[in-house]
């Protein structure tokens, strides 16, 4: 009897221990699976970032490409079973608008780029994404399989090819297409509205570029990427469609902070009844607007292109596996708003002499792009945009001019026949003597070019062009010198700074007026 009792007691004890063991093992496996899943999810953006150079479309190396440059990239994918390529309409000038479909999943995503002709960063990134989707045996095969089985992607690259031809924001008609969703006076807007009606996409990506001078909040940091979960009414209501936009943006912001910390911003969500983003959201598609801004040292936006590649693919991953629903929509409002607090160059605390009196002033200078060579290239033309107390503002580049006096430079007395002769001058020697301007002879052949540039760090005046008078100030071309006593310490030529004690002999950014 005792033996039987002991047997039963031991058996119960063993069963209890086994149940505890199985329970703990089950909990461990669930935890391990969750941690592994999170690690894999966190790892994907970094892996995409590292692999971008492998899939970067090498025929697109600068921003000012035209439709003729991307048509061969689309044509070479004709017949590839991965894609379905369809002509969906024409621009005002008759250029074909094409849509590239990839994937067969239930969740439909419509992505369009360059509805503003001078906003091409996401167009470059789209062709990088196509190259990536064609890859294999690189560690991403499972990701591609999941993405293309769970989503169907519809890309419309370069929606405004007429604008891209001229590298201008608006269409050939002079209409801002992103303000044409309601009346649809442009054929390009009619095409986009037709695609939204036909496809009824679950998600949309409205892909833009913005000024490189937006700041991330009230800070010195340039907004490299900005987002907007567009509002579908004036009351800024949030329904499930818009909430998903916010969640997706929150997830993308977390990813981007690792690469551009403090340089992600968001637009004010004021409702724009003419805007495509606002209306597409109202029509039932979860819409994310992405703006590629500026990044110091990246004028052709090649690093920002890489961020687009990584961020868009990572967002599509969150759509494919529905993990975006884990994000908290309130975190969207923690992203700082776009601000206007950054100039290209700020000169601080310069001593200004006017009418026999002296005072301190700051100068805010921007370098503006001027197109040439059929808008395939550009040079900079810089202006003094603000003058006075700029302590709330910042510069992507700054000079502390404390103890330095600002003066306009002198005109060198010798005239020259052409820019080639000017390029042979010892620019450093002239600048140290306070000469910032050189003049061309009346028979110079540069007059037909209008405003133009030179790689010599001097300001070239055509015959008859008067040199600026008085102290450099608001609205003037940003050419001047900063002196300490009688010694010129800095020359600013066309908004670019030359330290005469550490003079760089590389290419300059002079201007011809």
One CATH from 3.40.630.10, 3.40.50.2000, 3.30.70.260, 3.40.640.10 for 44-339: 3.40.630.10
Residues 80, 287, 222, 352: is their CA dihedral positive or negative?
positive
- What pLDDT, on the 0 to 100 scale, is given for residue 182? 97
- What pLDDT, on the 0 to 100 scale, is given for residue 384? 97
- What pLDDT, on the 0 to 100 scale, is given for residue 375? 96
Cβ-contact 266, 273 below 8 angstroms: no
- What pLDDT, on the 0 to 100 scale, is given for residue 42? 55
CA pair distance 381, 26, nearest whole angstrom: 67
- What pLDDT, on the 0 to 100 scale, is given for residue 28? 46
- Joined tokens for residue 322: 């529905």
- Joined tokens for residue 315: 């967002």
Q: Where are the beta strands (DSSP E) in 451-495?
A: 452-454, 459-461, 480-484, 487-493
- What pLDDT, on the 0 to 100 scale, is given for residue 450? 80
CATH architecture of 342-512: Roll (2.30)
Residue 245 CB coordination number (10 Å): 27
Q: Where are the beta strands (DSSP E) in 165-220?
A: 203-209, 215-216
Residue that the structure tokens 């505890």 belong to: 20
Burial-class residue 512 by CB neighbours within 10 Å (0-12, 13-18, 19+): buried
- What pLDDT, on the 0 to 100 scale, is given for residue 224? 98
- What pLDDT, on the 0 to 100 scale, is given for residue 102? 98
Hey, where are the domains in the chain? 44-339, 342-512
CA pair distance 122, 113, nearest whole angstrom: 6
CA pair distance 262, 259, nearest whole angstrom: 9
Side-chain half-sphere CA neighbours of 165 within 13 A: 11
Nearest to 483 by CA among 472, 494, 467, 468: 472
- What pLDDT, on the 0 to 100 scale, is given for residue 9? 55
- What pLDDT, on the 0 to 100 scale, is given for residue 465? 84
In the chain, which stretches have pLDDT less than 50?
A: 6, 25-39
Q: What would you measure as the largest C-alpha separation in the chain, in angstroms?
A: 126
- What pLDDT, on the 0 to 100 scale, is given for residue 16? 61
- What pLDDT, on the 0 to 100 scale, is given for residue 464? 81
- What pLDDT, on the 0 to 100 scale, is given for residue 11? 61
CA pair distance 340, 334, nearest whole angstrom: 18
What global pTM score does this model have? Answer: 0.89
- Joined tokens for residue 74: 């689309």
């Amino acid at each position: 009897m005792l033996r039987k009792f002991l047997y039963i007691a031991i058996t119960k004890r063993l069963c209890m221990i086994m149940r505890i063991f199985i329970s703990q093992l089950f909990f461990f496996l669930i935890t391990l699976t969750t941690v592994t899943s999170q690690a894999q999810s966190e790892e994907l953006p970094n892996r995409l970032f590292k692999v971008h150079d492998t899939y970067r479309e090498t025929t697109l190396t600068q921003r000012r490409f035209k439709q003729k440059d991307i048509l061969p990239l689309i044509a070479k994918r004709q017949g590839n079973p991965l894609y379905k390529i369809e002509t969906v309409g024409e621009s005002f000038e008759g250029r074909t608008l094409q849509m590239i479909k990839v994937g067969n999943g239930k969740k439909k995503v419509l992505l369009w780029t360059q509805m503003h002709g001078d906003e091409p960063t996401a167009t470059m990134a789209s062709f990088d994404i196509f190259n990536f989707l064609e890859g294999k045996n690189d560690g991403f095969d499972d990701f591609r399989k999941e993405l293309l089985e769970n989503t169907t992607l519809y890309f419309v690259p370069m929606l405004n090819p007429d604008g891209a031809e001229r590298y201008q924001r608006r269409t050939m008609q002079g209409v801002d297409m992103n303000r044409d969703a309601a009346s649809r006076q442009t054929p390009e807007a009619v095409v986009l509205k037709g695609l939204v009606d036909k496809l009824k996409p679950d998600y949309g990506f409205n892909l833009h570029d913005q000024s490189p001078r937006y700041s991330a909040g009230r800070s010195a940091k340039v907004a490299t990427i900005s987002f907007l979960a567009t509002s579908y009414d004036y009351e800024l209501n949030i329904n499930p469609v818009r909430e998903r936009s916010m969640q997706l943006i929150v997830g993308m912001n977390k990813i981007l902070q690792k690469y551009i910390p403090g340089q992600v911003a968001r637009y004010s969500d004021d409702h724009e009844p003419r805007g495509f983003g606002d209306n597409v959201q109202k029509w039932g598609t979860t819409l994310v607007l992405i703006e590629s801004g500026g990044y110091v040292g990246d004028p052709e936006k090649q690093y920002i292109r890489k961020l687009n590649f990584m961020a868009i693919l990572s967002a599509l991953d969150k759509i494919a596996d529905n993990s975006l629903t884990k994000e908290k929509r309130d975190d969207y409002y923690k992203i700082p708003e776009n601000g206007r607090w950054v100039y290209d160059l700020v000169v601080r605390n310069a001593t200004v002499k006017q009418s026999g009196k002296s005072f301190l002033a700051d100068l805010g200078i921007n370098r503006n792009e001027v197109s040439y060579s059929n808008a395939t290239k550009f040079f900079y033309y810089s202006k003094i945009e603000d003058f006075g107390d700029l302590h709330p503002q910042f510069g992507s580049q700054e000079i502390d001019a404390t103890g330095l006096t600002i003066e306009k430079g002198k005109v060198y007395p010798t005239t020259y026949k052409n820019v080639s002769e000017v390029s042979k001058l010892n620019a450093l020697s002239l600048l140290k003597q306070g000469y910032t301007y050189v003049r061309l002879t009346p028979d110079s052949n540069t007059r037909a070019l209008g405003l133009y540039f030179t790689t010599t760090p001097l300001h070239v005046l055509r015959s008859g062009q008067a040199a600026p008078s008085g102290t450099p100030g608001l609205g003037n071309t940003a050419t001047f010198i900063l002196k300490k006593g009688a010694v010129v310490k800095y020359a600013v030529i066309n908004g670019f700074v030359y330290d005469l004690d550490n003079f760089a002999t590389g290419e300059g950014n002079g201007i011809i007026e």
